[in-house]
Amino acid sequence: MFSRLLRNLSVERLACGALICITGVAAAGAAQAQSNEVGVYSGRHYNTDKQLYQQFTAKTGIAVKLLEAKDDALIERVRNEGQNSPADVLVLVDAARLDKAADLGLFRSSPSAALMRDVPLNLRDSKGRWFGLTRRVRVAIVNPALVNPASIRSYADLAQPALKGKLCLRDRKSVYNQSLVADQLILRGDAVAKGQCGVGLVNSYYVARLLSGDSGAADRALASRLKVVFPDPAHVNISGAGVLKTARNPSAALKLIEFLASPTGGRGYAEANHEYPLKGYGDNPVLKRLGSFKADGVSAEQMGAKNQAAVRLMEANGWQ
Ligand SMILES: [Fe+2]
């Protein structure tokens, strides 16, 4: 039963791996003035985002032309397109990817009083090149029939000998796990566990999505047999965005990011996908049922900077 559940939770892998291309959330006629259109490349793979882009269009009159694809593919695409890119905004999931895009020189600095106010310091780039928009927590999901949920209080507890053969983790290429290891390196200077399933690690929105019933009643029933544990303190990651250096319409791009980071826009962006807003816990009833967490305080920028060291550590410890 639990292996079936974990297979279901490999929605994390499937959803993240899927290449979805959607163009033209709002129809943007060629005749339209350029100032009325913003091109968005997004690595977020959640259908619910489109509602927020539509709200932005209704509020500002600026049409959003959207292309969704895998984060790394989008980074490559922006690099290849250069000045010819129709994109103004690049939305990516995971701090390490945002940091990588900034290192590649893809983003421009966006001085914005609204973003300074709405995005906490630890959830944005210190040079103003990218800004967090939503938060997700790396949680442990436990099968209480196999593992005592109370035995897992921290990520380090996943290394306890009693869990040998019962722990399921995604492979080394998962940027979510790389960021978790980077996070633990910063906090502990030490590795986390590897291994084979009584416990798995997933981003909070995947399990919340199953519990919400969005993926069907059968998945909800399976997920409800799990215990979700927030390690204390918890590793918090982000999705975020920046204005591209090659943007043709940087002012509309900044307006969109400001809208998505604002308390109103940001709440919708996070809630629909069962993520946490930039501040507080939000009003999503499924997330409320999971309880609250204490963020470990490691900044998104720190995690990005430690990504390479994390990958080396994972390699050195045989994390496949
Ligand atoms: Fe994801």
2-13+136-236+291-316 maps to CATH 3.30.413.10: no
Query: What is the Å distance from ligand 1's center to 237 Cα?
Result: 11
Q: Rounded CA gap, 242 and 104, in Å?
A: 13
CATH class of 18-135+237-281: alpha beta
Query: What is the Å distance from ligand 1's center to 104 Cα?
Result: 23
Strand, helix or coil for residue 52: helix
Q: CA 308, 91, 122 angle in degrees (round to 5)?
A: 60
Among 22-31, 55-64, 298-307, name the one with the lowest average pLDDT. Answer: 22-31
Query: What is the Å distance from ligand 1's center to 30 Cα?
Result: 33
Query: What is the Å distance from ligand 1's center to 300 Cα?
Result: 16
2-9 vs 204-212: helix crossing angle, rounded to 10: 110
Q: Rounded CA gap, 132 and 278, in Å?
A: 7
The pTM assigned to this predicted structure is 0.88
Tokens 């919400």 identify what position? 212
Query: What is the Å distance from ligand 1's center to 292 Cα?
Result: 20
Beta bridge partners of 39: 65
Query: What is the Å distance from ligand 1's center to 46 Cα?
Result: 9
| 118-151 pLDDT tens trace | 999 999 999 999 999 999 999 999 999 899 999 9
Domain boundaries, the chain: 2-13+136-236+291-316, 18-135+237-281
Tokens 């069962």 identify what position? 274
**Is it true that 2-13+136-236+291-316 and 18-135+237-281 share their CATH fold?**
yes
pLDDT at 85 over 80: yes
Query: What is the Å distance from ligand 1's center to 204 Cα?
Result: 10
What pLDDT sits at residue 185? 84
Across 37-65, average pLDDT: 94
What pLDDT sits at residue 222? 84
Tokens 């209080």 identify what position? 153
Query: What is the Å distance from ligand 1's center to 219 Cα?
Result: 17
Query: What is the Å distance from ligand 1's center to 31 Cα?
Result: 36
Q: How far is CA 174 from CA 7, 133, 265, 274, 304, in A?
A: 16, 21, 29, 20, 14
| 89-117 pLDDT tens trace | 999 999 999 999 999 999 999 999 999 99
Residue with more model confidence, 29 or 238: 238
Contact 106, 79 (CB under 8 A): yes
| 190-229 pLDDT tens trace | 453 233 368 889 999 999 999 999 889 988 988 888 899 9
Query: What is the Å distance from ligand 1's center to 205 Cα?
Result: 8
